[in-house]
Amino acid sequence: AQKITQTQPGMFVQEKEAVTLDCTYDTSDQSYGLFWYKQPSSGEMIFLIYQGSYDEQNATEGRYSLNFQKARKSANLVISASQLGDSAMYFCALRYNFNKFYFGSGTKLNVKP
Amino acid sequence: GAVVSQHPSWVICKSGTSVKIECRSLDFQATTMFWYRQFPKQSLMLMATSNEGSKATYEQGVEKDKFLINHASLTLSTLTVTSAHPEDSSFYICSASGREGREQYFGPGTRLTVT
């Protein structure tokens, strides 16, 4: 069975500081993918970053980076230089069985001015 | 590229009626489409997977007779909530993936309220 765990229901960060959102996963698949999505109050799911299970380098996309530790089965999202617009729900997702997604419970991030 | 639209963005219907939600891939051919349900302050739960031209595969616990899914073309999938009840009120999100299948592109969601 697939499992994604986000242990931080809510996080606060000061504007311009970095923040790490935790995500651990469990899967029996050898080939899988890990995604992070941002969901603002409008409800749309905004793709942030992707890490493949065979990728040796940690993924980076602008201010977003993914700290992938395969042996520990963790895929933490790091947001550098937080902005007020970063306040939203953040979901970690595991792609398994070729194209199915399983989502974590989410972390609500609040950026304080 | 990779834009997915949903219509309507919100709908209110009376208990006992049926409501149809459309999901369209605007600039790519979606070989597979997915339907999710999200309750307030909760995560997305996969309801079903549909491949163009074939029957949808429903996740355990999802009533296939209540949530009818049709994937008639490579750009359109529909979800019909039949005989809706207040407990069906939720945020429904579709996503689509192309032939490579590695990534899912999400629609903006449909907020359903059943009164």
> Is A100 in the B-facing interface, judged by CB distances under 8 Å?
yes
Portion 17-56 of A in contact with B at CB < 8 A:
33, 35, 37, 42-45, 47, 50
Shortest CA gap B115–chain A (Å) = 21
Indicate if the alpha-carbon torsion angle A110, B3, B6, B9 is positive or negative. Answer: positive
Q: Which of these ranges, A27-31, A63-67, B85-89, has the smallest mean pLDDT? A: A27-31
pLDDT at site B101: 64
Q: Please give the average per-residue pLDDT across B67-71, as a whole number.
A: 93
CA angle, residues A67, A68, A71, in degrees to nearest 5? 135
pLDDT in tens, A51-104: 999 998 999 999 999 999 999 999 999 999 999 999 999 999 999 877 789 999
Strands (E), A15-96: 19-21, 24-26, 33-39, 46-52, 60-61, 64-69, 74-79, 88-96
CB of A64 within 8 A of CB of A78?
yes
**Contacting residues of B for A33, CB less than 8 Å apart:** 102
pLDDT at B50 > cutoff 80: yes
Average pLDDT, chain B: 92
